[in-house]
Structure 1
Protein backbone atom coordinates (compact mmCIF):
# COMPACT_ATOMS: atom_id res chain seq x y z
CA UNK A 1 0.00 0.00 0.00
CA UNK A 2 2.73 2.50 0.99
CA UNK A 3 4.69 1.73 -2.19
CA UNK A 4 1.65 2.55 -4.33
CA UNK A 5 1.08 5.88 -2.58
CA UNK A 6 4.73 6.90 -2.83
CA UNK A 7 4.91 6.02 -6.51
CA UNK A 8 1.67 7.91 -7.17
CA UNK A 9 3.13 11.01 -5.50
CA UNK A 10 6.30 10.86 -7.59
CA UNK A 11 4.47 10.22 -10.86
CA UNK A 12 2.03 13.06 -10.27
CA UNK A 13 4.75 15.61 -9.49
CA UNK A 14 6.95 14.46 -12.37
CA UNK A 15 4.08 15.01 -14.80
CA UNK A 16 4.25 18.74 -14.06
CA UNK A 17 8.00 19.10 -13.42
CA UNK A 18 9.66 17.45 -16.40
CA UNK A 19 13.13 15.92 -16.43
CA UNK A 20 13.74 16.29 -12.69
CA UNK A 21 13.08 12.77 -11.45
CA UNK A 22 15.98 12.70 -8.99
CA UNK A 23 15.08 16.08 -7.52
CA UNK A 24 11.48 14.94 -7.08
CA UNK A 25 12.64 11.69 -5.45
CA UNK A 26 14.77 13.57 -2.92
CA UNK A 27 11.94 15.99 -2.15
CA UNK A 28 9.61 13.04 -1.46
CA UNK A 29 12.26 11.45 0.76
CA UNK A 30 12.49 14.65 2.81
CA UNK A 31 8.70 14.77 3.11
CA UNK A 32 8.47 11.17 4.38
CA UNK A 33 11.35 11.75 6.80
CA UNK A 34 9.58 14.76 8.31
CA UNK A 35 12.21 17.17 6.97
CA UNK A 36 12.17 20.42 5.03
CA UNK A 37 13.38 21.21 1.52
CA UNK A 38 15.52 24.10 0.26
CA UNK A 39 15.51 24.60 -3.52
CA UNK A 40 18.46 26.71 -4.61
CA UNK A 41 18.95 27.78 -8.23
CA UNK A 42 18.65 30.66 -10.66
CA UNK A 43 15.19 32.20 -11.24
CA UNK A 44 12.92 30.61 -13.81
CA UNK A 45 14.10 27.01 -13.58
CA UNK A 46 11.02 25.56 -11.89
CA UNK A 47 11.66 25.87 -8.14
CA UNK A 48 8.24 27.30 -7.37
CA UNK A 49 6.56 24.92 -9.84
CA UNK A 50 8.08 21.92 -8.05
CA UNK A 51 6.92 23.21 -4.67
CA UNK A 52 3.38 23.89 -5.94
CA UNK A 53 3.18 20.52 -7.71
CA UNK A 54 4.18 18.66 -4.56
CA UNK A 55 1.73 20.63 -2.44
CA UNK A 56 -1.20 19.98 -4.81
CA UNK A 57 -0.28 16.30 -5.07
CA UNK A 58 -0.42 15.79 -1.30
CA UNK A 59 -3.96 17.14 -0.90
CA UNK A 60 -2.94 19.05 2.21
CA UNK A 61 -3.56 22.62 3.30
CA UNK A 62 -1.15 24.85 1.39
CA UNK A 63 0.01 28.44 1.89
CA UNK A 64 2.44 30.42 -0.20
CA UNK A 65 4.40 33.32 1.27
CA UNK A 66 6.52 35.62 -0.88
CA UNK A 67 9.55 36.73 1.13
CA UNK A 68 10.51 40.39 0.64
CA UNK A 69 12.89 42.77 2.47
CA UNK A 70 10.01 44.44 4.36
CA UNK A 71 8.43 41.20 5.61
CA UNK A 72 8.06 41.00 9.41
CA UNK A 73 8.09 37.92 11.71
CA UNK A 74 4.41 38.55 12.53
CA UNK A 75 3.64 38.24 8.80
CA UNK A 76 4.75 34.60 9.11
CA UNK A 77 3.57 33.40 12.52
CA UNK A 78 0.64 35.73 13.11
CA UNK A 79 -0.18 38.26 15.83
CA UNK A 80 -2.64 39.18 18.55
CA UNK A 81 -5.05 41.82 17.24
CA UNK A 82 -7.04 44.12 19.51
CA UNK A 83 -10.84 43.98 19.11
CA UNK A 84 -12.39 47.32 20.16
CA UNK A 85 -15.91 45.89 20.45
CA UNK A 86 -15.00 43.30 23.07
CA UNK A 87 -11.94 45.00 24.53
CA UNK A 88 -9.80 41.87 24.25
CA UNK A 89 -7.16 40.48 21.90
CA UNK A 90 -7.76 37.88 19.22
CA UNK A 91 -4.95 35.75 17.76
CA UNK A 92 -4.88 35.72 13.99
CA UNK A 93 -2.63 32.89 12.79
CA UNK A 94 -0.11 33.58 10.06
CA UNK A 95 0.52 31.49 6.94
CA UNK A 96 2.87 29.15 8.86
CA UNK A 97 -0.24 27.44 10.27
CA UNK A 98 -0.61 25.04 7.37
CA UNK A 99 0.59 21.63 6.21
CA UNK A 100 2.73 22.85 3.32
CA UNK A 101 4.36 26.27 3.46
CA UNK A 102 5.99 27.54 0.28
CA UNK A 103 8.57 30.09 1.45
CA UNK A 104 9.31 31.68 -1.90
CA UNK A 105 12.70 33.43 -2.24
CA UNK A 106 13.41 33.02 1.47
CA UNK A 107 16.79 34.75 1.21
CA UNK A 108 15.25 38.03 0.01
CA UNK A 109 14.12 38.85 3.56
CA UNK A 110 16.21 39.86 6.57
CA UNK A 111 17.77 37.37 9.03
CA UNK A 112 15.38 38.60 11.75
CA UNK A 113 12.39 37.53 9.68
CA UNK A 114 14.07 34.31 8.52
CA UNK A 115 14.51 33.35 12.18
CA UNK A 116 10.73 33.35 12.66
CA UNK A 117 10.71 29.93 11.00
CA UNK A 118 13.32 28.31 13.27
CA UNK A 119 11.00 27.06 16.02
CA UNK A 120 8.36 25.98 13.50
CA UNK A 121 10.86 23.94 11.49
CA UNK A 122 12.56 22.35 14.50
CA UNK A 123 9.67 21.71 16.89
CA UNK A 124 6.56 22.07 14.69
CA UNK A 125 5.14 24.71 16.99
CA UNK A 126 5.05 28.49 17.37
CA UNK A 127 5.46 30.48 20.60
CA UNK A 128 3.68 33.84 20.77
CA UNK A 129 3.57 35.99 23.91
CA UNK A 130 4.16 33.05 26.23
CA UNK A 131 1.70 30.72 24.53
CA UNK A 132 2.83 27.68 22.52
CA UNK A 133 0.67 26.67 19.57
CA UNK A 134 1.13 23.38 17.68
CA UNK A 135 1.24 23.37 13.89
CA UNK A 136 -0.93 21.11 11.70
CA UNK A 137 0.47 17.68 10.83
CA UNK A 138 2.23 16.92 8.62
CA UNK A 139 4.21 20.17 8.41
CA UNK A 140 6.64 20.82 5.58
CA UNK A 141 8.51 23.96 4.56
CA UNK A 142 9.42 24.12 0.88
CA UNK A 143 11.73 27.11 0.54
CA UNK A 144 13.25 28.53 -2.63
CA UNK A 145 16.22 30.82 -2.76
CA UNK A 146 18.17 32.63 -5.45
CA UNK A 147 21.96 32.19 -5.63
CA UNK A 148 23.91 34.35 -3.19
CA UNK A 149 25.50 36.52 -5.86
CA UNK A 150 22.10 37.81 -7.03
CA UNK A 151 21.05 41.33 -6.02
CA UNK A 152 18.87 41.81 -2.94
CA UNK A 153 19.66 38.55 -1.16
CA UNK A 154 20.51 37.90 2.50
CA UNK A 155 22.56 34.71 3.00
CA UNK A 156 20.83 32.19 5.25
CA UNK A 157 22.77 31.74 8.51
CA UNK A 158 24.18 28.31 9.33
CA UNK A 159 21.59 27.59 12.03
CA UNK A 160 18.80 28.23 9.49
CA UNK A 161 20.43 26.04 6.83
CA UNK A 162 20.79 23.26 9.40
CA UNK A 163 16.98 23.07 9.68
CA UNK A 164 16.61 21.98 6.05
CA UNK A 165 16.92 18.25 5.50
CA UNK A 166 18.01 18.58 1.87
CA UNK A 167 19.28 21.36 -0.36
CA UNK A 168 18.48 20.68 -4.01
CA UNK A 169 19.29 22.23 -7.37
CA UNK A 170 17.27 21.86 -10.57
CA UNK A 171 19.64 23.05 -13.29
CA UNK A 172 18.83 23.68 -16.95
CA UNK A 173 16.75 21.05 -18.77
CA UNK A 174 18.02 19.43 -21.95
CA UNK A 175 16.66 20.54 -25.32
CA UNK A 176 14.07 17.77 -25.74
CA UNK A 177 12.74 18.26 -22.23
CA UNK A 178 12.40 21.98 -22.84
CA UNK A 179 10.57 21.28 -26.09
CA UNK A 180 8.13 19.12 -24.12
CA UNK A 181 7.73 21.98 -21.63
CA UNK A 182 6.60 24.17 -24.53
CA UNK A 183 4.03 21.58 -25.55
CA UNK A 184 2.69 21.07 -22.02
CA UNK A 185 2.21 24.82 -21.55
CA UNK A 186 0.15 25.40 -24.71
CA UNK A 187 -3.11 25.08 -22.79
CA UNK A 188 -1.97 26.66 -19.54
CA UNK A 189 0.08 25.84 -16.46
CA UNK A 190 0.34 22.01 -16.00
CA UNK A 191 0.55 22.38 -12.22
CA UNK A 192 -2.97 23.85 -12.14
CA UNK A 193 -4.39 20.62 -13.57
CA UNK A 194 -2.87 18.38 -10.88
CA UNK A 195 -5.16 16.57 -8.48
CA UNK A 196 -4.34 15.18 -5.04
CA UNK A 197 -3.34 11.51 -4.92
CA UNK A 198 -3.01 11.21 -1.14
CA UNK A 199 -4.02 12.96 2.09
CA UNK A 200 -2.54 14.41 5.26
CA UNK A 201 -3.46 11.28 7.23
CA UNK A 202 -1.72 9.01 4.72
CA UNK A 203 1.43 11.14 4.79
CA UNK A 204 1.48 11.03 8.59
CA UNK A 205 1.14 7.23 8.48
CA UNK A 206 4.02 6.96 5.97
CA UNK A 207 6.18 9.09 8.24
CA UNK A 208 5.52 6.64 11.07
CA UNK A 209 6.52 3.75 8.79
CA UNK A 210 9.85 5.47 8.06
CA UNK A 211 10.83 5.27 11.73
CA UNK A 212 10.34 1.49 11.63
CA UNK A 213 12.89 0.93 8.84
CA UNK A 214 15.83 -1.08 10.20
CA UNK A 215 19.33 0.40 10.32
CA UNK A 216 22.13 -2.07 11.04
CA UNK A 217 24.84 -1.00 13.49
CA UNK A 218 27.41 -1.17 10.72
CA UNK A 219 25.39 1.37 8.71
CA UNK A 220 25.12 3.65 11.74
CA UNK A 221 28.89 3.43 12.22
CA UNK A 222 29.39 4.29 8.54
CA UNK A 223 27.32 7.47 8.97
CA UNK A 224 29.25 8.38 12.12
CA UNK A 225 32.54 7.87 10.27
CA UNK A 226 31.42 10.43 7.68
CA UNK A 227 30.37 12.87 10.40
CA UNK A 228 33.62 12.46 12.35
CA UNK A 229 35.74 12.86 9.21
CA UNK A 230 33.96 16.13 8.40
CA UNK A 231 34.77 17.49 11.86
CA UNK A 232 38.46 16.66 11.50
CA UNK A 233 38.92 17.64 7.84
CA UNK A 234 41.61 20.35 7.42
CA UNK A 235 39.62 22.19 4.74
CA UNK A 236 36.46 22.50 6.82
CA UNK A 237 35.89 25.21 9.40
CA UNK A 238 32.64 23.59 10.54
CA UNK A 239 31.76 19.91 10.28
CA UNK A 240 28.44 18.10 10.45
CA UNK A 241 26.37 18.79 13.58
CA UNK A 242 24.57 16.17 15.64
CA UNK A 243 21.33 17.41 14.07
CA UNK A 244 22.91 16.82 10.68
CA UNK A 245 23.88 13.27 11.65
CA UNK A 246 20.35 12.50 12.88
CA UNK A 247 18.93 13.99 9.69
CA UNK A 248 21.12 11.73 7.55
CA UNK A 249 19.96 8.73 9.60
CA UNK A 250 16.26 9.55 9.11
CA UNK A 251 16.70 10.41 5.43
CA UNK A 252 18.36 7.03 4.83
CA UNK A 253 15.35 5.31 6.42
CA UNK A 254 13.01 7.29 4.15
CA UNK A 255 15.05 6.42 1.06
CA UNK A 256 14.81 2.73 1.92
CA UNK A 257 11.01 3.03 2.17
CA UNK A 258 10.86 4.86 -1.17
CA UNK A 259 12.89 2.02 -2.70
CA UNK A 260 10.42 -0.50 -1.20
CA UNK A 261 12.77 -1.89 1.44
CA UNK A 262 12.40 -2.18 5.21
CA UNK A 263 16.15 -1.87 5.82
CA UNK A 264 18.86 0.66 4.93
CA UNK A 265 21.81 -0.26 2.70
CA UNK A 266 25.13 1.63 2.35
CA UNK A 267 24.14 3.00 -1.06
CA UNK A 268 21.21 4.84 0.55
CA UNK A 269 23.68 6.72 2.72
CA UNK A 270 26.11 7.44 -0.13
CA UNK A 271 23.37 8.92 -2.33
CA UNK A 272 22.18 11.20 0.46
CA UNK A 273 25.49 12.54 1.77
CA UNK A 274 25.71 15.51 -0.62
CA UNK A 275 22.07 16.70 -0.62
CA UNK A 276 21.77 16.24 3.17
CA UNK A 277 25.18 17.42 4.38
CA UNK A 278 26.77 19.78 1.83
CA UNK A 279 24.79 22.85 2.94
CA UNK A 280 25.57 22.18 6.62
CA UNK A 281 29.35 22.31 6.52
CA UNK A 282 31.55 25.41 6.15
CA UNK A 283 34.65 25.38 3.97
CA UNK A 284 37.73 27.38 4.92
CA UNK A 285 38.27 30.36 2.64
CA UNK A 286 35.53 29.40 0.15
CA UNK A 287 33.44 32.13 -1.44
CA UNK A 288 29.72 31.74 -0.85
CA UNK A 289 28.86 31.32 -4.52
CA UNK A 290 31.25 28.36 -4.84
CA UNK A 291 30.78 26.96 -1.36
CA UNK A 292 28.33 24.17 -2.08
CA UNK A 293 30.36 22.88 -5.00
CA UNK A 294 33.50 22.77 -2.86
CA UNK A 295 31.61 21.19 0.05
CA UNK A 296 30.30 18.47 -2.27
CA UNK A 297 33.83 17.73 -3.49
CA UNK A 298 35.13 17.42 0.08
CA UNK A 299 32.28 15.09 1.10
CA UNK A 300 32.93 12.95 -1.97
CA UNK A 301 36.62 12.65 -1.04
CA UNK A 302 35.62 11.67 2.51
CA UNK A 303 33.33 8.88 1.34
CA UNK A 304 35.90 7.67 -1.20
CA UNK A 305 38.37 7.11 1.64
CA UNK A 306 36.00 5.28 3.96
CA UNK A 307 35.39 1.56 4.00
CA UNK A 308 31.83 0.69 2.99
CA UNK A 309 30.11 -1.79 5.32
CA UNK A 310 29.26 -5.17 3.83
Structure 2
Protein backbone atom coordinates (compact mmCIF):
# COMPACT_ATOMS: atom_id res chain seq x y z
CA UNK A 1 0.00 0.00 0.00
CA UNK A 2 1.40 3.37 -1.01
CA UNK A 3 2.16 5.94 1.68
CA UNK A 4 2.68 9.68 1.72
CA UNK A 5 3.62 12.12 4.48
CA UNK A 6 1.78 15.42 4.97
CA UNK A 7 2.83 17.75 7.79
CA UNK A 8 4.56 14.87 9.55
CA UNK A 9 1.53 12.56 9.34
CA UNK A 10 1.86 9.34 7.33
CA UNK A 11 -1.18 8.54 5.20
CA UNK A 12 -1.84 5.13 3.69
CA UNK A 13 -3.50 5.63 0.30
CA UNK A 14 -6.33 3.66 -1.23
CA UNK A 15 -5.80 1.67 -4.38
CA UNK A 16 -7.35 3.02 -7.58
CA UNK A 17 -10.34 1.16 -9.00
CA UNK A 18 -9.83 -0.92 -12.14
CA UNK A 19 -13.28 -2.00 -13.25
CA UNK A 20 -14.46 -4.06 -16.17
CA UNK A 21 -17.23 -1.60 -17.00
CA UNK A 22 -18.67 -1.61 -20.50
CA UNK A 23 -19.57 1.84 -21.85
CA UNK A 24 -21.65 1.87 -25.02
CA UNK A 25 -23.21 5.03 -26.44
CA UNK A 26 -24.04 8.17 -24.44
CA UNK A 27 -21.06 9.88 -26.08
CA UNK A 28 -22.63 13.29 -25.56
CA UNK A 29 -22.65 12.79 -21.77
CA UNK A 30 -18.96 11.88 -21.77
CA UNK A 31 -18.16 15.01 -23.80
CA UNK A 32 -20.05 17.16 -21.28
CA UNK A 33 -18.15 15.64 -18.35
CA UNK A 34 -14.80 16.21 -20.07
CA UNK A 35 -15.77 19.80 -20.90
CA UNK A 36 -16.57 20.45 -17.22
CA UNK A 37 -13.12 19.17 -16.22
CA UNK A 38 -11.21 21.31 -18.75
CA UNK A 39 -8.84 24.11 -17.77
CA UNK A 40 -8.93 26.94 -20.31
CA UNK A 41 -6.72 29.53 -18.56
CA UNK A 42 -4.06 29.57 -15.87
CA UNK A 43 -6.59 31.22 -13.56
CA UNK A 44 -9.36 28.77 -14.46
CA UNK A 45 -10.56 25.89 -12.27
CA UNK A 46 -12.26 22.61 -13.19
CA UNK A 47 -15.97 22.22 -12.49
CA UNK A 48 -17.48 19.41 -10.44
CA UNK A 49 -20.13 17.76 -12.63
CA UNK A 50 -23.14 16.03 -11.16
CA UNK A 51 -24.70 13.14 -13.08
CA UNK A 52 -28.39 12.75 -12.29
CA UNK A 53 -30.82 10.07 -13.42
CA UNK A 54 -32.75 6.95 -12.53
CA UNK A 55 -30.84 4.08 -10.85
CA UNK A 56 -29.14 1.78 -13.32
CA UNK A 57 -28.87 4.10 -16.34
CA UNK A 58 -25.06 3.97 -16.28
CA UNK A 59 -24.05 7.17 -14.48
CA UNK A 60 -21.04 5.63 -12.72
CA UNK A 61 -19.94 3.84 -15.89
CA UNK A 62 -20.03 7.11 -17.84
CA UNK A 63 -18.04 8.98 -15.19
CA UNK A 64 -15.50 6.14 -15.12
CA UNK A 65 -15.24 6.14 -18.91
CA UNK A 66 -14.68 9.91 -18.97
CA UNK A 67 -11.91 9.62 -16.38
CA UNK A 68 -10.22 6.89 -18.39
CA UNK A 69 -10.33 9.13 -21.47
CA UNK A 70 -8.08 11.48 -19.49
CA UNK A 71 -5.73 8.63 -18.70
CA UNK A 72 -6.17 9.17 -14.96
CA UNK A 73 -6.45 6.80 -12.04
CA UNK A 74 -10.04 6.46 -10.86
CA UNK A 75 -11.12 6.24 -7.22
CA UNK A 76 -14.76 5.43 -6.45
CA UNK A 77 -16.39 6.21 -3.11
CA UNK A 78 -19.77 4.60 -2.45
CA UNK A 79 -21.87 6.98 -0.36
CA UNK A 80 -24.51 5.71 2.08
CA UNK A 81 -26.82 7.20 4.70
CA UNK A 82 -24.19 6.16 7.28
CA UNK A 83 -21.28 7.97 5.62
CA UNK A 84 -19.37 10.06 8.15
CA UNK A 85 -16.99 12.99 7.49
CA UNK A 86 -14.01 10.84 8.48
CA UNK A 87 -15.11 8.16 5.99
CA UNK A 88 -14.85 10.77 3.24
CA UNK A 89 -11.40 11.96 4.38
CA UNK A 90 -9.15 10.00 6.75
CA UNK A 91 -10.00 7.08 9.02
CA UNK A 92 -7.77 6.03 11.95
CA UNK A 93 -7.28 2.28 12.39
CA UNK A 94 -5.18 0.19 14.77
CA UNK A 95 -2.23 -1.50 13.06
CA UNK A 96 -0.85 -4.94 13.88
CA UNK A 97 1.73 -3.24 16.09
CA UNK A 98 -1.00 -1.53 18.11
CA UNK A 99 -0.31 1.88 16.61
CA UNK A 100 -2.73 4.23 14.91
CA UNK A 101 -2.61 4.18 11.10
CA UNK A 102 -4.27 6.89 9.07
CA UNK A 103 -6.08 5.53 6.05
CA UNK A 104 -6.85 7.98 3.25
CA UNK A 105 -10.24 7.61 1.61
CA UNK A 106 -10.54 7.09 -2.15
CA UNK A 107 -11.34 10.82 -2.44
CA UNK A 108 -8.25 11.95 -0.56
CA UNK A 109 -6.11 9.39 -2.40
CA UNK A 110 -7.31 10.85 -5.72
CA UNK A 111 -6.56 14.37 -4.42
CA UNK A 112 -3.00 13.44 -3.55
CA UNK A 113 -2.24 11.43 -6.70
CA UNK A 114 -4.00 13.70 -9.18
CA UNK A 115 -6.63 11.14 -10.04
CA UNK A 116 -10.38 11.32 -10.54
CA UNK A 117 -12.75 10.77 -7.62
CA UNK A 118 -16.29 9.56 -8.23
CA UNK A 119 -18.74 9.81 -5.36
CA UNK A 120 -21.45 7.33 -6.21
CA UNK A 121 -25.04 7.93 -5.04
CA UNK A 122 -23.83 11.11 -3.38
CA UNK A 123 -27.27 12.36 -2.34
CA UNK A 124 -27.51 9.54 0.17
CA UNK A 125 -25.13 11.51 2.42
CA UNK A 126 -26.19 13.84 5.21
CA UNK A 127 -25.36 17.55 5.34
CA UNK A 128 -22.71 16.94 8.00
CA UNK A 129 -20.77 14.76 5.57
CA UNK A 130 -21.18 17.24 2.73
CA UNK A 131 -19.78 20.03 4.91
CA UNK A 132 -16.41 18.28 5.12
CA UNK A 133 -16.11 18.47 1.32
CA UNK A 134 -17.19 22.10 0.88
CA UNK A 135 -13.67 23.60 0.62
CA UNK A 136 -12.66 20.90 -1.87
CA UNK A 137 -15.53 21.78 -4.18
CA UNK A 138 -14.76 25.50 -4.48
CA UNK A 139 -11.68 27.55 -5.33
CA UNK A 140 -9.88 26.48 -2.15
CA UNK A 141 -9.55 22.85 -3.32
CA UNK A 142 -8.50 21.37 0.01
CA UNK A 143 -9.94 19.34 2.88
CA UNK A 144 -9.14 19.43 6.58
CA UNK A 145 -8.98 16.24 8.60
CA UNK A 146 -9.79 16.83 12.25
CA UNK A 147 -8.88 13.21 12.99
CA UNK A 148 -5.33 13.52 11.62
CA UNK A 149 -4.98 17.26 12.29
CA UNK A 150 -3.82 18.13 8.77
CA UNK A 151 -4.93 20.11 5.73
CA UNK A 152 -4.67 18.34 2.38
CA UNK A 153 -4.48 20.28 -0.86
CA UNK A 154 -5.68 18.79 -4.13
CA UNK A 155 -3.19 18.04 -6.89
CA UNK A 156 -3.72 20.33 -9.93
CA UNK A 157 -4.79 17.30 -11.98
CA UNK A 158 -7.43 16.21 -9.46
CA UNK A 159 -10.97 16.00 -10.77
CA UNK A 160 -14.21 14.97 -9.11
CA UNK A 161 -17.65 13.89 -10.30
CA UNK A 162 -20.69 12.80 -8.32
CA UNK A 163 -23.66 10.65 -9.29
CA UNK A 164 -27.13 11.09 -7.85
CA UNK A 165 -30.17 8.86 -8.18
CA UNK A 166 -33.63 10.23 -8.71
CA UNK A 167 -35.50 8.31 -6.03
CA UNK A 168 -37.13 8.83 -2.67
CA UNK A 169 -34.37 7.27 -0.52
CA UNK A 170 -32.09 10.30 -0.64
CA UNK A 171 -31.33 13.48 1.29
CA UNK A 172 -31.88 16.98 -0.03
CA UNK A 173 -28.49 18.37 -1.06
CA UNK A 174 -27.65 21.58 0.86
CA UNK A 175 -27.84 24.72 -1.28
CA UNK A 176 -24.21 25.68 -0.63
CA UNK A 177 -23.20 22.26 -1.97
CA UNK A 178 -25.72 22.36 -4.80
CA UNK A 179 -24.01 25.47 -6.20
CA UNK A 180 -20.62 23.74 -6.04
CA UNK A 181 -21.77 20.67 -8.00
CA UNK A 182 -22.18 22.08 -11.47
CA UNK A 183 -22.97 21.46 -14.23
CA UNK A 184 -25.89 19.11 -13.70
CA UNK A 185 -25.86 16.49 -16.46
CA UNK A 186 -29.00 14.41 -16.88
CA UNK A 187 -28.52 10.77 -17.93
CA UNK A 188 -31.65 9.34 -19.52
CA UNK A 189 -32.63 5.86 -20.61
CA UNK A 190 -31.00 4.87 -23.92
CA UNK A 191 -32.78 4.39 -27.23
CA UNK A 192 -33.57 0.84 -28.40
CA UNK A 193 -30.49 0.31 -30.59
CA UNK A 194 -28.19 1.72 -27.92
CA UNK A 195 -29.86 -0.42 -25.26
CA UNK A 196 -29.38 -3.52 -27.40
CA UNK A 197 -25.67 -2.75 -27.77
CA UNK A 198 -25.34 -2.22 -24.01
CA UNK A 199 -26.93 -5.59 -23.30
CA UNK A 200 -24.80 -7.28 -25.95
CA UNK A 201 -21.62 -5.69 -24.58
CA UNK A 202 -22.43 -6.99 -21.08
CA UNK A 203 -23.62 -10.39 -22.35
CA UNK A 204 -21.60 -11.16 -25.50
CA UNK A 205 -22.61 -14.83 -25.22
CA UNK A 206 -26.34 -14.03 -25.14
CA UNK A 207 -29.01 -15.42 -27.42
CA UNK A 208 -30.15 -12.66 -29.81
CA UNK A 209 -33.83 -13.51 -29.47
CA UNK A 210 -33.60 -13.12 -25.70
CA UNK A 211 -31.85 -9.77 -26.04
CA UNK A 212 -34.51 -8.53 -28.45
CA UNK A 213 -37.31 -9.48 -26.08
CA UNK A 214 -35.53 -7.82 -23.15
CA UNK A 215 -34.96 -4.61 -25.13
CA UNK A 216 -38.62 -4.55 -26.18
CA UNK A 217 -39.65 -4.97 -22.54
CA UNK A 218 -37.33 -2.16 -21.39
CA UNK A 219 -38.46 0.23 -24.12
CA UNK A 220 -42.13 -0.33 -23.25
CA UNK A 221 -41.33 0.27 -19.58
CA UNK A 222 -39.37 3.46 -20.37
CA UNK A 223 -42.27 4.88 -22.34
CA UNK A 224 -44.57 4.22 -19.40
CA UNK A 225 -42.20 6.04 -17.02
CA UNK A 226 -41.05 2.92 -15.16
CA UNK A 227 -37.50 2.93 -13.80
CA UNK A 228 -36.41 -0.48 -15.12
CA UNK A 229 -32.86 -0.19 -16.41
CA UNK A 230 -30.21 -1.90 -18.52
CA UNK A 231 -28.92 -3.40 -15.28
CA UNK A 232 -32.32 -5.04 -14.78
CA UNK A 233 -32.27 -6.24 -18.37
CA UNK A 234 -28.85 -7.83 -17.91
CA UNK A 235 -30.06 -9.67 -14.81
CA UNK A 236 -33.20 -10.93 -16.57
CA UNK A 237 -31.34 -12.19 -19.63
CA UNK A 238 -28.51 -13.72 -17.59
CA UNK A 239 -30.89 -15.60 -15.30
CA UNK A 240 -33.03 -16.84 -18.19
CA UNK A 241 -29.98 -18.19 -20.03
CA UNK A 242 -28.76 -19.98 -16.90
CA UNK A 243 -32.15 -21.65 -16.55
CA UNK A 244 -32.30 -22.60 -20.22
CA UNK A 245 -28.89 -24.27 -19.97
CA UNK A 246 -29.76 -25.89 -16.63
CA UNK A 247 -33.06 -26.94 -15.06
CA UNK A 248 -35.25 -25.61 -17.92
CA UNK A 249 -33.15 -26.92 -20.79
CA UNK A 250 -36.12 -28.36 -22.68
CA UNK A 251 -38.62 -25.61 -21.85
CA UNK A 252 -40.02 -22.92 -24.12
CA UNK A 253 -37.53 -20.06 -24.33
CA UNK A 254 -40.11 -17.26 -24.18
CA UNK A 255 -41.90 -18.77 -21.20
CA UNK A 256 -38.65 -19.17 -19.26
CA UNK A 257 -37.70 -15.58 -20.10
CA UNK A 258 -41.12 -14.32 -19.03
CA UNK A 259 -40.90 -16.23 -15.75
CA UNK A 260 -37.35 -14.95 -15.17
CA UNK A 261 -38.58 -11.40 -15.68
CA UNK A 262 -41.24 -11.90 -13.02
CA UNK A 263 -38.71 -13.40 -10.59
CA UNK A 264 -36.26 -10.52 -11.08
CA UNK A 265 -38.70 -7.59 -11.09
CA UNK A 266 -41.95 -8.97 -9.72
CA UNK A 267 -45.28 -9.91 -11.28
CA UNK A 268 -46.31 -6.29 -11.90
CA UNK A 269 -43.50 -5.95 -14.46
CA UNK A 270 -45.30 -8.45 -16.71
CA UNK A 271 -47.65 -5.75 -17.96
CA UNK A 272 -44.72 -4.69 -20.16
CA UNK A 273 -44.10 -8.18 -21.54
CA UNK A 274 -43.74 -7.60 -25.31
CA UNK A 275 -46.19 -10.32 -26.41
CA UNK A 276 -48.99 -8.44 -24.68
CA UNK A 277 -48.39 -5.10 -26.37
CA UNK A 278 -46.20 -5.40 -29.46
CA UNK A 279 -43.86 -7.75 -31.23
CA UNK A 280 -40.26 -7.78 -29.99
CA UNK A 281 -37.98 -5.27 -31.64
CA UNK A 282 -35.91 -7.35 -34.05
CA UNK A 283 -32.44 -6.04 -34.70
CA UNK A 284 -31.68 -5.89 -38.43
CA UNK A 285 -29.16 -8.41 -39.69
- Provide TM-score, normalisation by structure 2: 0.54
CA contact (8 A) 1:124 1:139 kept: no
Determine the C-alpha separation between the residues in 2 that align with 1:70 and 1:101: 19
**SS of equivalent to 1:177:** helix
Give the conservation status (yes or no) of the 8 Å contact 2:50–2:181: yes
Equivalent pair of 2:22/2:202 in contact (CA under 8 Å): no
The verdict on how the C-alpha distance between 1:86 and 1:151 changes in structure 2, with shifts beyond 3 A counting, is: closer
Structure 1 match to 2:151? 132
Task: For 2:179 and 2:83, locate their aligned partners in 1 and report how far apart those are by CA, in whole Å.
Answer: 22
2:196 aligned residue: 179
Task: Say if 2:162 is the partner of 1:143.
Answer: yes
How many Å apart are 1:151 and its aligned residue?
2.7
Give the stretch that moved more between structures: 31-40 or 135-144. Answer: 135-144
- Give CA deviations for 1:266-295 in whole Å, capped at 9, x if unaligned: xxxxxxxxxxxxxxxxxxxxxxxxxxxxxx
Deviating above 4 A after TM superposition, structure 1's stretches of 4 or more consecutive aligned residues are 80-87
| Cα shift readout 1:1-48 (whole Å, capped 9, x = no counterpart) | xxxxxxxxxxxxxx9543323222111101114111100100111101
Contact 2:76 2:107 in 1 (8 A): no
The corresponding residue for 2:136 is 120
- More displaced 10-residue stretch of structure 1: 63-72 or 52-61: 52-61
Q: 1:95: Cα distance to partner?
A: 1.7
The answer (yes or no) to whether the contact 2:137–2:180 under 8 Å persists in 1 is yes
Root mean square deviation of aligned Cα: 2.4
**Helix, strand or coil for the counterpart of 1:137?**
coil
CA distance in structure 2 between the partners assigned to 1:165 and 1:23 by the alignment: 14
Q: Secondary structure at the match of 1:165?
A: coil
Counterpart check, 1:30 vs 2:42: no
Partner SS state of residue 141, structure 1: strand
Summarize the Cα distance change of 1:84–1:29 in structure 2 as closer, same or farther, 3 Å threshold: same
**Which runs of 5 or more residues in structure 1 are unaligned?**
1-14, 189-310
Q: Which ranges in structure 2 are unaligned for 5 or more consecutive residues?
A: 1-20, 40-45, 206-285
1:1-310 correspondence to structure 2 within 5 Å = 16-33=22-39, 34-81=46-93, 90-97=101-108, 98=110, 99-122=115-138, 123-129=140-146, 130-147=149-166, 150-187=167-204
The 1:135/1:82 distance shift into structure 2, 3 A limit, reads farther
Aligned-partner Cα distance in 2 for 1:165–1:181? 28
Shift of 1:85: 5.2
Residues 234-267 of structure 1: per-residue CA shift (max 9 Å, x gap): xxxxxxxxxxxxxxxxxxxxxxxxxxxxxxxxxx
In the alignment of these two chains, the number of paired residues is 171
1:145-201 C-alpha deviation (Å, 9 max, x unpaired): 112xx232001111111112311011121111112222222339xxxxxxxxxxxxx
Higher helix share: 1
TM-score for both structures, normalised by structure 1 = 0.50
1:140 Cα shift?
1.5
Maintained 8 Å contact 1:39/1:144: yes
**Structure 2 CA distance for partners of 1:174 and 1:81, relative to 1, 3 Å:** closer
